[in-house]
Structures are given as structure tokens and as C-alpha cells.
Amino acid sequence: MQINQLKLLPLVAIFTISTLSAQESKPTIPKRTYTTKAVTTSLVIDGLLNEESWNAVEWATDFIEQRPDENTPPSHQTQFKIVYDDKFLYIGVRAFDAEPDKIEKRLSRRDGFAGDWVEVNIDSYNDDRTGFSFTLTAAGVKGDEFISNNGNNWDGSWNPIWYTATNIDEKGWTAEIKIPFSQLKFGESPEQTWGLQVQRRFFRKEERSVWQRIPQDAPGWVSEFGILRGLVNIQPQKQLEIQPFLVGQFDSYPQEAGNPFRDGSDFKINGGLDAKIGITNDLTLDLTVNPDFGQVEADPGAIALDGFQIFFREQRPFFVENKNIFDFRFANGQDNVFYSRRIGRSPHGSPTLAAGEYADIPVNTTILGAAKFSGKTKSGWSIGLLESVTANEYAKIDNNGTRRKEIVEPLTNYFVARAQKDFNDRNTYVGGIFTATNRNLDGNFNYLHKAAYTGGLDFRHNWKNRNYFVQGNLVTSYVTGSPEAIEATQRSITHLFQREDAGHVSVDPTRTSLSGSGGRLEGGKAGGGNWRYAAGVMWRSPELELNDIGFLRQADEIRQFANVRYLWQKPTKTYRRASLRFFQSTTYDFDGNHNRTNYEINGDINWDNNWWTEAGFGHKPRIFINTFLRGGPRWRYSDENFHFLFFGSDQRKKFNFTLGYVGNQVQQDNFSFSRYVVRMNYQPLNALSLSLSTEFEKNPNKTQYVTQAGFGTITRYILGNIDQQTWSTTLRLNYSINPNLSIQYYGQPFISRGRYTDFNFVNNAAAEDLNDRVTLYNSNQISFGNDTYSIDEDLDTVTDYSFSNPDFSFVQFRSNLVMRWEYIPGSEIFFVWSQGVTGLGDPKNTLGNELRNQILNQKKENTFLIKMTYRFVK
């Protein structure tokens, strides 16, 4: 493969600038130290800070503003004290405020971070990369997150047990925090040395102040923490938590005449057990038996006309917690070696039904059990092991009262092992991952892989005070199965080995395995000064296959990329901060074809009044798509220009909004895209908040893929002029009676409609001119009847081929009403009402008529659920 050397110039330029800039040096910010002491009397957590034990230590003060005007005195000072006993760490905070009646006491659910708050970050591993964050608002709402990647990732799914109280007085407000040592991770040592940061949000001015100064141009967050000393002879506490749960569920839905499985209602009771066992203080074993993996919030509505799978984020607690340890994004976007939603997915198969038979097909595969062993040792090892088994899943089939079962999903074992090791004073890490999927096919499911394995290595090296970095990863995959399964993989849209103009791949129906590779290599400047830049290359070989337990959208791609960004970090009378970024990339396939070039400029600004603006534009002078014709030749799109503009009001205000527009335009009006966004948030009471987000998209395209058909010895790739419109609205309501009792509502109608006209077929897929690329059927060649288009291409009065009417109208409504009560720390009761409807409407109708006919006037499916958990903690 030959690639124009000019395309490598941005990469060379970026690394040259990095090398020259690395000669710069800046003074190191001194690290502050706080020394705590042990106390013998337990403290009462009431927010008053009046116990004698607090007098054992001095106040830490002299906070410095971190945002917006870094390294200046804050509007109001903050103080804190830290003491401990053999089981708990106690933190007391005094947040001074000359106008205590103006302290913002907004209630929210856990991790809401609304109003005034203080935050304590603890790097108990002392690894400069990870930490535990505890946030407490003036209203008493808790927030907790696990910090990783030196502050680039904050995982709000971590929910430890800890105790808090706040109080407002004439000096401002105070907070008391009590953290069990069992909720922190640290190794054995006569005296512990931990990283420490305390941060305060002063809401009225949207000001952040910190105990340990961290410049805004710092390369990370955790690595810049101050030091906590004085923790002498504390013993690591092995965590032991057992959490049984009980779920009662009643479903009601429209009755389906004659179908015994859809008689109008169902009721079931389910129970299970979750457990956390501290093998050591560093490493925890999570177990779940017959888990309840229901989601409080439904997946958003989506429809894809390009044939690719849609990525949905993980929302199930067992998989979300500690997900950063198992994460292995290796190339671009959502590509990941481990995509946990493969476990418990909907069954691959469907039953074979005779006339008059009805089937009850499970929505999800039953997870018999799962175990997770994860944590980080004091020596710098991050370790994660995950094992899960899903059951043989059967569809129940009824034939006039006679019942039988038919298997639709085989017994499957999923395994993931992940490890990383820090060294070089925590400036370098190397790691690896291994995954395995094994299915018990038992002569069935010839279309599924028998086994799938992946392995990966990754590394990152930082230098010059972590301002500069180089990082990379490598992934290999191996899948095996029957010839039918491997041929299906070769022909899938991820691979398309059957592409007729591909010179480097072809379908081999005798193969029983595939193996491929992918990876990424990148370097640049991450901190220091006002400049940031990076450049690199990523690739995915044609045979790379990850979709048994990972997520891979497309293989057969090599991409070079480079970006440079300038930051304005010192506030002025006009703005608080701003940035401008330039991005460039080129894409090739493994046959040496230059498929895409992309240039983009974008920027953002936070104005002095806390309003904000984001804008950008770009140009794509070359667009070829290997997958567009589903196995046909590479398809060329006309040159494209795109742009976007978003702006919004001060998000601290009780009413705030966001308005946005995204659009593009292609030469010869090949296609266009317009997306309009309106978001509004309103908090009329401290306890009540509402948000409404509406999006409307118009996506006309003269050459939307429809299907393909044989015309003699020729394959005709049939396209059409689509008028596609999509509308969705998401409504959220949160009412917090107190920090532990809340009511939440989520609702989203989603409608997407497409109408096709002006059908045409591909004439020369690579032609620059649209009129040479396709040929339009004339009125004598195409006719319509019985919802089918018939083509008489050679005008001999005989139909040469036909295709079904591709017009569509997809309608979906999902809603959840949830009352959550944390009646004791870590133990909860949920009352849930879910409602939904999904169907196909009439494409001739307007979106408004579809909303009325398919959502408002339809009888919906309802689920009423009560879930109770109790957390036993030792």
C-alpha cells in the first residue's frame, strides 16, 4: 500500500513542535501537606463541628481560586479538619459565606451536584492516577465518584456507604463527613501517605476554590493533589457486603386475540443476591446470583438506515461499577474490546412457527450468575477478572393448547481479564486484556461462533511533568465456528469480503476461523501553557472481529489524524475561558484506497455572564464509503461542507436553555442534514426540577440505499430519494422530598418517518458527477402496485425485478416513574411504573398525526414493579 507522503506532514509537524516545546520549563507548584491525628472518641455526625475531638488538629485554610481566575483569592475562604479512629475517617468543613441566606440549597438525587457544595478527593492508592471523590451539597445531598485516568474519567456509578450532615449558621455553612476505611482502598503500612484535594463550589459566582493549587494548564487532576499524612497504624478493612433483593412485577398490555401468551397481563416474583467480599483491602470480589439487571431508564429511541448496529450505553449496576478497570477502547469512537451489553443480550435465534402457532420469546437472555474480581494494589497493579454464564434460552410455542419449547440462545460463558501496571514514578503504565466467549452449540446455531478470543496490550508514557505523552494499544482477535458462521461473518456489514471491487479480500466459504488485528498509536502535549496537540494513526484489519463480547462497527480501515488546540484560560471582562481547535484526518482501507479527507475548526467560549457558545465548521473534499452498497463497489459522495452552532444561558439559573443547530450541505444536493435542538431546564423549587429536550432532524438524500436485485448477469444497486424526518422529545422530572427520598420521571416519544421517490440505480459508483454516478428510472420503467415497485428496465413489457415499498414510519414511546427511598445507607426500595408502545405507523401521515395516532391514542404496555434491597455490611 502506498500513501501520499504529504499526508504524513501533519503528524511529523506535531511531533516536531512537541519536541521543541519540551525544552520549555515551568516552576513546579509546591505540594501542601495536611497532618491528621487519631481520636479515641467517636464523633456525632450532625454537621455542627462542636465535639472536643475536632480540637485535636488544626484547621487547614488558605484556599486559592481555581476557576475562573486561577491563583487569586476566592470570594470566601474555606477551612477543613481531618481526624480518624480505627474504623473511620472524619472530615469537617467550614465554608464561610457573608450572606448565608443566599446559600443555594437545591435538592436532587444522589450525584446531582446542585447548588453550593464541597468535595473531598482522596488518592489512597497514592498512584497519581486514581482517587475516590466525596461531594456534599449544602442541602445534604451526597455525590460519590471513582476517579481514573488522572481525572479524565469520573465514574458516578460507584456508591459507597458513608455518612454526612450539614448545617447553615451566621458564618456560612458546615459539613461533617464520616467515611468507613472499608470503602477506601489502601495497602498495609505503618504510616499511610495519601493524595488529598478539597474543593469548594461557590454557587453565586460559579467559582471553584481548592486547597492545593492546580493550575488550569495542569496535565491532569489526581497527579497534582496535596499530601495527607498522620494516618498511623490503621488497618486495611476487608469489605464484606451482602445485598439480597426481592422484586415483584405486574405487566399489563393489549390483549392479542388467539395468542395465549398475550392474554393482557402477567405477574412474577423474582429474587437474587449481590455480594462484595474483600479478598484484601485492595481487591474485591463481586458476586451476583440470578441478578436483576432491569434499567430504571429505557434506551433512547434510534433508527439506523446504514445497516450498522446501534451503540447503547451500559446502565446495569453490576457492569457499570468499576467499568473503568475493564475498559479497553483501542481505535476510534465506541470501539471496545469489552462491551458488557453483549452479556444478557436478546436471543440470537427465533423459533420456526407453523400456521396457527404462537411463540413467547424472551426479551433478554437469563444471566445465571456473574462474578467480578477487581481492584488496585499498592504496588501499582490494576486487576480485573469477570466471569459470567448465560443460560440456554427457550421460546415457548403453543399450537391450540399443545406446548413445546425451541431453543433460541445457547448456554454461553463470557470471560474478561484485564491488568495494568504503573511504574516510573507513576509516569508510565503498561497493560493487557484477554476476553473469551464460548458457546455450547450442541449441533444447533450453525450461524454463531463456537468461540471468540481477543487479546490486547496498551501503554502510556508521560514526561516533562506529565505535559507530554505517547500512548498506544494493539488488539488481536480470533473467532472460530462452522463454515456457515464464518461465511456469515465475512459477509456481515462490518467486513463485506464480498465487495465486488475489493482486491485484498474475498469470501471463502470453507473457512472455519478468522483472525485480525487493530490498534492505535498517538502522542502529543496534554498540559502546560496554552497549546495542546496530538497526532497519531489507528487501524482495524479486514478480519478483526470483536462483536461476540466487544463492539466493533467497521473493520478494514487505517486512519491518520492530527489536532491542535489553543486555550484562553485567563478570564477577561468579556469571557471566563475559551478554546479553538483544528482537526485533520485521512482514511484508507487495506487495499490502499484513499477513502476520506476531513478538516474541521471548532471553538467554544464561556462568557463573563456564564452564558456559553460552541461553533464549528468543516470540509470533506473526499468521501468514499466501502459499506454503502452492502457488498457493492466503493461509493463516492459529493464534497461536503458542515457546520454547527450551539449556545446557552447560565446553567446555574433556575431557568436555563440551550439552542443548537447542526447542518451540512453536499455538492449537487446529493444529500443534506439539518438538526435543531432545544433544551430547557427549570427548577421552580429547591426540591423540584424539570428538563425538556427536543430534537428535530431533516435528512433528504437523493441516493439512499434501498436494496439490490439481479438483472441478468448484472447486480443492480437500487437507490432512492428519501425525505426523512425524525423528532424526539425527552422530559425529565425530579422531585426530592429529602436527600434519601425522591421521585423521578422520564418520558420520550420518538418518531422517524421516511418517504421515497425518484428511484435510481448505480451506474458508476466512483464517478465525481452525481448524474454519472446514478441513472434515474423513467416513468415507463417503474410501476407501483400492491405495495411493490416493479421494474421493466429493458422496456420489453416483462418485469425484470421488483422490490417492496421502502417507506417507513417508526414510532416509540418509553416512560418511567420511579420513587426511590434509601431507608438506611446502602439499602433501598424502588416503586416503578414503566409505560411504553412501539409500532409502525403510516408514512403518509405527518409527524404530528403519528404522535396522536400511534402514541396518544394507543393502549400502552404497563409495568408496575416493587424492588427492595437490604445491604448487610460488616
- The string of pLDDT tens digits covering residues 542-599 is 999 999 999 999 999 999 999 999 999 999 999 999 999 999 999 999 999 999 999 9
Mean pLDDT of 296-322: 68
Q: How confident is the model at residue 358 (pLDDT cuts 50, 70, 90)?
A: very high
**DSSP at 106:** -
Rg (CA), the chain: 29
Q: How confident is the model at residue 42 (pLDDT cuts 50, 70, 90)?
A: confident
Q: How confident is the model at residue 864 (pLDDT cuts 50, 70, 90)?
A: very high
* Rounded CA separation 761/530 (Å): 52
Q: How confident is the model at residue 830 (pLDDT cuts 50, 70, 90)?
A: very high
Mean pLDDT of 413-438: 94
Which residues, in sequence order, are bridge partners of residue 423? 428
Q: What percent of the chain has pLDDT over 90?
A: 74
* Rounded CA separation 494/553 (Å): 6
| Cell numbers placing 780 | 415507463
Strands 153-155 and 142-148, how do they pair?
Answer: antiparallel
Residues of the chain with CATH 2.60.40.1190: 31-232
* Rounded CA separation 506/491 (Å): 9
Q: Which residue's C-alpha cell is 478494514?
A: 556
Which helix H or strand E contains 319, and what residues bound it?
Answer: helix 317-320
* Rounded CA separation 300/549 (Å): 22
HSE-up of residue 48 (Cα within 13 Å, Cβ side):
7
pLDDT at 293: 55
* Rounded CA separation 302/743 (Å): 27
pLDDT at 630: 92
| Cell numbers placing 496 | 463485506
| Cell numbers placing 849 | 398525526
Torsion angle of C-alpha atoms 262, 263, 264, 269, degrees rounded to 10 = -80
| Cell numbers placing 776 | 434515474
**256: helix, strand or coil:** coil
**Burial letters 570-605, b for 16+ CB under 10 A, else e:** ebeeebbbbbebbbbbbbbbbbebebbbbebebbbb
pLDDT at 22 over 50: no
pLDDT at 5 over 90: no
C-alpha distances out from residue 256 to 239, 252, 253, 404, Å: 50, 12, 9, 20
* Rounded CA separation 148/329 (Å): 15
pLDDT at 213 over 90: yes
Range with top average pLDDT, 246-255, 610-619, 840-849: 610-619
**DSSP at 777:** P
Asked if 395 contacts 359 with a C-beta cutoff of 8 angstroms, the reply is: yes
* Rounded CA separation 339/350 (Å): 23
pLDDT at 297: 52
pLDDT at 300: 64
pLDDT at 15: 46
Q: How confident is the model at residue 10 (pLDDT cuts 50, 70, 90)?
A: very low
Strands 153-155 and 782-785, how do they pair?
Answer: unpaired
* Rounded CA separation 623/768 (Å): 10
More confident residue, 873 or 479: 479
| Cell numbers placing 177 | 463527613
Q: What percent of the chain has pLDDT over 70?
A: 95
Q: Which residue's C-alpha cell is 391450540?
A: 400
Instruction: Enter the pTM of the model.
Output: 0.87
pLDDT in tens, 307-316: 677 777 777 7
| Cell numbers placing 118 | 464541597
* Rounded CA separation 107/116 (Å): 11
Asked if 537 contacts 560 with a C-beta cutoff of 8 angstroms, the reply is: yes
pLDDT at 443 over 80: no
Handedness of CA 685, 686, 688, 694 (dihedral sign): positive
Which residues, in sequence order, are bridge partners of residue 479? 452, 514
Strands 827-840 and 808-824, how do they pair?
Answer: antiparallel
CATH of domain 31-232: 2.60.40.1190
| Cell numbers placing 551 | 463492539
HSE-up of residue 343 (Cα within 13 Å, Cβ side):
29
pLDDT at 209: 97
| Cell numbers placing 9 | 506532514
Closest CA to 375 of 196, 195, 192, 185: 185
pLDDT at 1 over 60: no
Q: How confident is the model at residue 2 (pLDDT cuts 50, 70, 90)?
A: very low
Residue 317's φ and ψ, nearest 5 degrees, are -55, -40
**293: helix, strand or coil:** coil
Mean pLDDT of 41-52: 92
Which helix H or strand E contains 490, and what residues bound it?
Answer: helix 483-491
**340: helix, strand or coil:** helix
pLDDT at 18: 46
Asked if 379 contacts 419 with a C-beta cutoff of 8 angstroms, the reply is: no
Mean pLDDT of 455-482: 96
C-alpha distances out from residue 525 to 22, 214, 550, 769, Å: 9, 18, 30, 42
- Residue 195: other Cβ atoms inside 10 A: 24
pLDDT in tens, 74-129: 999 999 999 999 999 999 999 999 999 999 999 988 898 999 999 999 999 888 98
pLDDT at 860 over 70: yes
* Cβ-Cβ contacts under 8 Å for 17 (sequence gap 6 or more): 525, 531, 533
Asked if 12 contacts 584 with a C-beta cutoff of 8 angstroms, the reply is: no
The region of weakest confidence among 188-202, 264-278, 678-692, 742-756 is 264-278
* Rounded CA separation 698/95 (Å): 50
**425: helix, strand or coil:** coil
**402: helix, strand or coil:** strand
HSE-up of residue 171 (Cα within 13 Å, Cβ side):
11
Report angle CA 180, 185, 189 to the nearest 5 degrees. 100
Asked if 343 contacts 367 with a C-beta cutoff of 8 angstroms, the reply is: yes
Q: How confident is the model at residue 318 (pLDDT cuts 50, 70, 90)?
A: confident
Asked if 202 contacts 75 with a C-beta cutoff of 8 angstroms, the reply is: yes
Q: Which residue's C-alpha cell is 514514578?
A: 425
Residue 455's identity, in one-letter code, is G
pLDDT at 306: 66
* Rounded CA separation 392/267 (Å): 23
**Burial of residue 773 (number of CB atoms within 10 Å: 0-12, 13-18, 19+):** buried
* Rounded CA separation 270/257 (Å): 28
C-alpha distances out from residue 4 to 12, 13, 560, 587, Å: 14, 16, 12, 12
pLDDT at 14 over 50: no
pLDDT at 363: 86
* Cβ-Cβ contacts under 8 Å for 254 (sequence gap 6 or more): 262, 264, 859, 861
* Rounded CA separation 244/134 (Å): 26
pLDDT at 6: 42
* Cβ-Cβ contacts under 8 Å for 419 (sequence gap 6 or more): 381, 382, 383, 384, 431, 432, 433
Closest CA to 386 of 329, 439, 433, 451: 433
Q: Which residue's C-alpha cell is 494493539?
A: 474
**10: helix, strand or coil:** helix
pLDDT at 64 over 80: yes
More confident residue, 298 or 113: 113
**DSSP at 551:** B
* Rounded CA separation 769/764 (Å): 10
Q: How confident is the model at residue 13 (pLDDT cuts 50, 70, 90)?
A: very low
Q: Distance between terminal CA atoms of the chain?
A: 62
Percent of residues in the chain assigned helix, strand, coil, to nearest 5: 10, 55, 40
- Give the mean pLDDT of the chain: 91
CA 326 to chain centre: 14
Residue 282's φ and ψ, nearest 5 degrees, are -85, -30
pLDDT at 804: 96
* Rounded CA separation 576/611 (Å): 10
| Cell numbers placing 267 | 405477574
| Cell numbers placing 716 | 443492480
pLDDT in tens, 232-271: 999 877 778 888 989 999 999 999 888 999 999 999 998 8
pLDDT at 850: 82
pLDDT at 531: 96
- Residue 855: other Cβ atoms inside 10 A: 19
